[in-house]
Amino acid sequence: MEYYPAPGRNHLFVPGPTNVPEPILRAMNRSNEDHRSPAFPKLSKSCIDDVKQIFRTTTATSFIFPTTGTGAWESALTNTLSPGDKIISFRLGQFSLLWIDQMQRFNFDVDVIDCEWGAGADLELLKQKLQADRSHSVKAVCVVHNETSTGVTNDIGAVRRILDAAHHPALLLVDGVSSIGAIDFRMDDWKVDVALTGSQKALSLPTGLGIVCASPKALEAAKHSKSTRVFFDWGDYLKFYKAGSYWPYTPSSQMLYGLRASLDMILNEEGLDNVIARHCRLAEATRQAVRAWGLTLCTKKPEWKSDTVTAVVVPSWIDSNEIVKIAYKKYNLSLGVGLNKIAGKVFRIGHLGNVNELQLLGALAGVELALMEVGYPVTLGSGVAAAQAHLAKQTPLIKSRM
């Protein structure tokens, strides 16, 4: 095992897993403890209660599973739906594709709306389908809020307005894995029935927690759902919630201490609105850099731009994997590769989680060096300068140093 793989810090600019900041690492650096002790429920309850704030919900019930985003998907689907139930979902990138694949493997009847990769959800088609569904055969609409593979953010408020205008009772299930806690997400305002995220994204924790929030309507649906579920069954958790001991099986106490520290940092120290504003600022600086390099975004229209990941299209004579490889091998900079049908055509800059202005500028400088090395005619410093110009105007004083 090599303990000193490269000098200096690793520049982790993939769109998750993200940097784990020192306070979280310190909070997690402890031995195992008895999760059935009289003291443990205090930590459990505070995490279960406070995590709801990053979803902006006071009405939902939260579940913290020892899993990843993929497990959280499974939990959302199997608790609310029965095999054969009709779902409408959009396939517009790798993660929406994988979620749909999971739905099909669970034998749900998925009406897939295929959209161009780089485009947002086709809401006009959704409107037509819901208005035509007079018998209410559609039981759920499933949307990925932020498609991490293409840098596309969908308008969940607009999806809700379409459901309401059609007086359609379908459940609204939303994947917020690369958005919740970083991009504005309003579970209660948008009447989202199930929203989910993973610990390794905006929360800046290690991978290992899948966090699911269920509305009262989703909890009611869970009473009638006939899907087989064991590990992800909300019912088991609810029994333990009633008993005040919270976990049907052994939780990772270290991850819960980490989550507590992450929530303290996001909600109390920086403040969720400031966290969201920081993501917005860093994302816009990144987009300005891409423009200055003369490159384009995978995201087709500004209304779909993502504030957590920027997917950059390279000219056809360049293999984007080469850019990612050089950045990693020479500059200790991790960028995201293009996935599936945009492999080789796109690379991704993640600006998600606990990351600041100067870290981003370092990453952009590294991207310029890698672009130069693959033969792209980049003017060194051009993207960095464009990003700096934006950040100089937009960056506030650090909250704790005002």
Ligand X SMILES: Cc1ncc(COP(=O)(O)O)c(C=O)c1O
User: With binding defined as CB under 6 A, does residue 334 bind ligand X?
Assistant: no
176 vs 383 by CB, closer to ligand X: 176
Q: Which two tokens stand for residue 397?
A: 């004083």
Sequence-ordered list of residues with C-beta below 8 angstroms from that of 62, at least 6 positions apart, any chain: 48, 49, 51, 52, 55, 211, 212, 213, 214
Interaction pattern, residues 167-206, with ligand X; x per rule: CB under 6 A: --------x-xx-------------------x--------
Number of residues that bind ligand X (CB under 6 A): 11
159 vs 384 by CB, closer to ligand X: 159
Least distance from ligand X to the Cβ atom of residue 197, Å: 9
**Among 213, 195, 177, which Cα is nearest to 16's?**
177
Q: Is 291 annotated as a binding residue?
A: no
E strands, 208-262, are 210-214
Which residues 234-253 are close enough to bind ligand X by CB under 6 A?
none
Which residue has 């989680």 as its token pair?
353
282 vs 378 by CB, closer to ligand X: 282
User: With binding defined as CB under 6 A, does residue 70 bind ligand X?
Assistant: yes
Give yes or no for a contact between 256 and 43, defined as CB atoms under 8 angstroms apart: yes
- Supply φ then ψ for residue 64, to 5 degrees: -115, 105
By CB under 6 A, name the one of 16, 181, 251, 383 that touches ligand X: 16
User: With binding defined as CB under 6 A, does residue 68 bind ligand X?
Assistant: yes
Give yes or no for a contact between 346 and 303, defined as CB atoms under 8 angstroms apart: no
Length of the chain: 402
User: By Cβ distance, which residue is nearest to ligand X?
Assistant: 69
Measure the CA–CA gap between 376 and 366, rounded to whole angstroms.
14
By CB under 6 A, name the one of 43, 110, 144, 378 that touches ligand X: 144
Classified as helix, coil or strand, 256 is helix
- Strand bridging mode 346-350 / 210-214: unpaired
Least distance from ligand X to the Cβ atom of residue 382, Å: 30
User: With binding defined as CB under 6 A, does residue 69 bind ligand X?
Assistant: yes
Give yes or no for a contact between 383 and 295, defined as CB atoms under 8 angstroms apart: no
Least distance from ligand X to the Cβ atom of residue 70, Å: 3
Least distance from ligand X to the Cβ atom of residue 201, Å: 7
Binding site for ligand X (CB under 6 A): 16, 68-70, 95, 144, 148, 175, 177-178, 198
Annotated binding site for substrate: 348
Which residue numbers belong to the known binding site? 348
